[in-house]
Structure 1
Amino acid sequence: MNPLGITVVLGLLAGVWAQINVVRPQCDSPEAEEAALVARDYLNTQHTHGYKYALNRIEDIKIHTKPDGDNTYMLEIELLETDCHVLDPTPLANCTVRPKILTAVEGDCDVVLKRVGGALTVTAFKCKTEESTEDLCVGCHTLLPLNDTTALEFVQASLATFNNMTVNGTYTVMEVGRMSSQVVSGGPIYFAEYVVVEANCIDDACVPLNDTMAARGICTAKGLTTDHTVDCKMFLTLMPVVDVNSTAALAMPPTVHIHTGSLTPMHGLRHHKLTTLHDPHLSGLLSESAESAEVVPVAPTVVDAGVASAPAADPASPTAADPAPPANTGSASDSSASAEVPVVVVKRDVPAPAIVDAVTQTDPIALVPVCPGRVRFF
């Protein structure tokens, strides 16, 4: 290729890199926190079974910037299951994260977000949901499969007790949230959480009311089929929503699948999983739930004028010069266990339409890694 052709090609490549650049802010920065909370809330709206999830940790973040401000965020977050069912209108901030000793459930998600016109929206995600078994002990609660026959008999027996105590209305099971057992002297005792809905019952056959005004609630039961306690908390049937004109409106409750027959279609699962995948066309950008390496374009490092430039290696990719990875912190995410090369972010003016945050490596001992972020619960 003649010198003129080489110059043209290099000019085109420089134009491409000037238009799209990769920025890696700190995981605990306000920008990362904003994206993580948008992702958390969106994932909870997609999760129509089981319980709401709270943000525990931001594992990693990359931002693909464009001069027009329509940036793409690549986010890895860790979520923890709370004790608030998805039908419960209680604000997430008031929900309690389940402690590990009660078998916490963890969700690890990769999320793609777009910032268009200043607003962040989720365009794709991929999640995996796992039990935390780190702090289990002899005599601790053990999660049971959602189709465990004996535990489901206990659910029905406790529901019958509740119906016998209820004056107005009869209820049937809408969804089993979780069931567990604990071995004590004399044998196991059972614990169950399940959502109920008002129903029409004739003899032993109950049909859930197909009405938005039908009462719904969550019951917690403890004991044996023949000797137990049960307590049910009713949810608000209609939840107030304020529209753009600040006028109050009533919103229908989220739709949750009503189980029939064996009460649950989950075979062998011990907990309700987060929605696994959204927009498979972008799945190549998402690595966490697939436990595969992420492949994304990375812009060349921008340096001061007069200094030769070289393509910047992705800090997530190990090289011979990288320091040894730290010990596992106990996070459910494999990718969070690998260390990144510590970096600092320096603003540089470059002769391009966009200003790029250049990543410059210095003494690794003197720097603090920017990711993963702080652990909020455990």
Structure 2
Amino acid sequence: MKSLIALVLLGQILASKATSEPFPPLIGRRPDCDDPEIENAAKIAMDHINSHTLHGYKHVFNRMENVKVLPRRPTGEIIFLEMDTLETNCHVMSPTPVENCTVRARTEHAVEGDCDVKMLLLEGQYKVLSTKCHSSPDSREDLQRLCPDCAPLQPLNEPEVMNAVTTALAEFNAHNETDHHYDLLEITRGRHSHMPRATFVEFAIAATNCTEKEANEHKDCHVMTGEHAHFGFCKATVFKKPSGDGPTILMVFPDNVVACEIFDKKVGHSHTHLTQHHLGKKIPSPGVGHTVLDLIHSHNNTLASHESHSAEVPAVQASPVVKRAAVDVAQIQPMLHLQQCPGKYRHFAI
């Protein structure tokens, strides 16, 4: 009997020791940064980033900095991407597909984003698990070397920028052909020109439940939401006209100097919550003077950032990839190749 008990105890000890042994180390792989599989993953990552950005502009993929792929137990792989992006001229509220958006020219003081992305590849489908991005404009020194006469970006809370937006929005409301008075959602860009003296601004707007007449009568107006929501994105040039010894007069000349694109947002669209994020704040942009959770440049030389954790984001069908068998010694050798990273620029370097 004692011998039987000893054997049972010995078996339990051995079993406990076996289960406490660590798993064998995970063997990862290092694909080239321009590998078609990685380019496909980058496209899916960019779609996720653009659909979760609350302010500013849509971005496009520019270059892959680094890639690492690790096996995931019991199945699948985890992909880590370090990628560069560039700002386009499409506001995040615009329904225009990012493929149809123009990349912001360097002469307009381009903005670059740096993103770290974690993805799951399981049974041929990609799923974004998390993203962390920060963005910043090209340096003023580089802009001046490239284009000495180009106007650099100004802080969004600069009085001249804010006054120019107020003037341009008043001009739009006075002449717009809709039945709604529009309110400011956010200022997204501001630049000054000295010859002629003018301020170039870009800003997002939203329709209220008031007509222009009701707004002028100081009725209690509020931005419409849900199925009644209407949004717009405006670009304007506001000229400064000296008035003798008096204050400078801001003037919006005719000839379509204020141009606004008005578009509807579908109920349930991922950006419909942006309205609530802005309502009542009356701020130029959350990127002014402090770090924010958003992929938008900060004009005060502080990096703005965007972070999302997306456990519930639907998986996206990947391009066909070759299924890999269980890793053995023969498979380790291909991982020893010199990884080709970073990858090529799709647009231009900043």
Shift, 1:64, TM fit: 0.5
Amino acid at match of 2:198: I
For the 8 Å contact 1:189–1:223, the answer to whether it is kept is yes
CA pair 34-69 structure 1, distance change in 2 beyond 3 A: farther
Deviation string 1:182-238 (CA, Å, 9 cap, x unpaired) is 2215xx311111111112225356532244323211111013222342011111333
Corresponding position: 1:203 with 2:212: no
Work out which of the residue numbers 22, 43, 63 in structure 1 matches 2:28: 22
1:127 alignment partner in structure 2: 133
1:376 alignment partner in structure 2: 346
Tell me how far apart the structure 1 counterparts of residues 128 and 102 of structure 2 sit (CA, whole Å): 25
Amino acid at match of 1:360: L
Amino acid at match of 1:222: T
Tell me how far apart the structure 2 counterparts of residues 278 and 82 of structure 1 sit (CA, whole Å): 21
2:200 alignment partner in structure 1: 191
Tell me how far apart the structure 1 counterparts of residues 304 and 32 of structure 2 sit (CA, whole Å): 26
Deviation string 1:98-150 (CA, Å, 9 cap, x unpaired) is 01110111110111111223221122222221111223333212211111112
CA pair 377-191 structure 1, distance change in 2 beyond 3 A: same
1:301 alignment partner in structure 2: none
2:307 alignment partner in structure 1: 277
2:157 alignment partner in structure 1: 147
CA pair 44-125 structure 1, distance change in 2 beyond 3 A: same
CA pair 68-144 structure 1, distance change in 2 beyond 3 A: same
CA pair 252-147 structure 1, distance change in 2 beyond 3 A: same
| Structure 1 SS opposite 2:335 | strand
For the 8 Å contact 1:213–1:238, the answer to whether it is kept is no
Corresponding position: 1:175 with 2:186: yes
Tell me how far apart the structure 2 counterparts of residues 167 and 349 of structure 1 sit (CA, whole Å): 65
Tell me how far apart the structure 2 counterparts of residues 46 and 210 of structure 1 sit (CA, whole Å): 19
| Structure 2 SS opposite 1:151 | helix
| Structure 2 SS opposite 1:235 | strand
CA pair 110-191 structure 1, distance change in 2 beyond 3 A: same
Tell me how far apart the structure 2 counterparts of residues 184 and 135 of structure 1 sit (CA, whole Å): 18
2:176 alignment partner in structure 1: 166
Work out which of the residue numbers 255, 265, 274 in structure 2 matches 1:237: 265
For the 8 Å contact 2:115–2:133, the answer to whether it is kept is yes
Amino acid at match of 1:42: H
Deviation string 1:82-103 (CA, Å, 9 cap, x unpaired) is 0011110101100011011101
Tell me how far apart the structure 2 counterparts of residues 357 and 63 of structure 1 sit (CA, whole Å): 16
Shift, 1:37, TM fit: 1.2
Shift, 1:259, TM fit: 5.2
Paired residues for 1:65-80 under 5 Å: 65-66=71-72, 68-80=74-86
Shift, 1:168, TM fit: 2.7
Q: State the identity as a percent.
A: 29
Corresponding position: 1:221 with 2:236: yes
Work out which of the residue numbers 65, 75, 78 in structure 2 matches 1:59: 65
For the 8 Å contact 1:139–1:184, the answer to whether it is kept is no
1:340 alignment partner in structure 2: none
For the 8 Å contact 1:71–1:116, the answer to whether it is kept is yes
Work out which of the residue numbers 265, 276, 284 in structure 2 matches 1:264: 284
Corresponding position: 1:254 with 2:254: no
Work out which of the residue numbers 102, 112, 116 in structure 2 matches 1:106: 112
For the 8 Å contact 1:47–1:275, the answer to whether it is kept is no
| Structure 2 SS opposite 1:221 | strand
Shift, 1:251, TM fit: 4.7
For the 8 Å contact 2:167–2:252, the answer to whether it is kept is no
Work out which of the residue numbers 137, 156, 167 in structure 2 matches 1:157: 167
| Structure 1 SS opposite 2:227 | coil
Corresponding position: 1:358 with 2:334: yes
Paired residues for 1:322-361 under 5 Å: 351=328, 355-356=331-332, 358-360=334-336
CA pair 221-349 structure 1, distance change in 2 beyond 3 A: closer
Gaps of 5+ in 2: 1-16, 240-249, 290-297, 310-323
Tell me how far apart the structure 1 counterparts of residues 32 and 272 of structure 2 sit (CA, whole Å): 35
Gaps of 5+ in 1: 1-7, 240-249, 280-346, 362-366
CA pair 148-117 structure 1, distance change in 2 beyond 3 A: same
Tell me how far apart the structure 2 counterparts of residues 126 and 357 of structure 1 sit (CA, whole Å): 32
TM-score (norm 1): 0.66
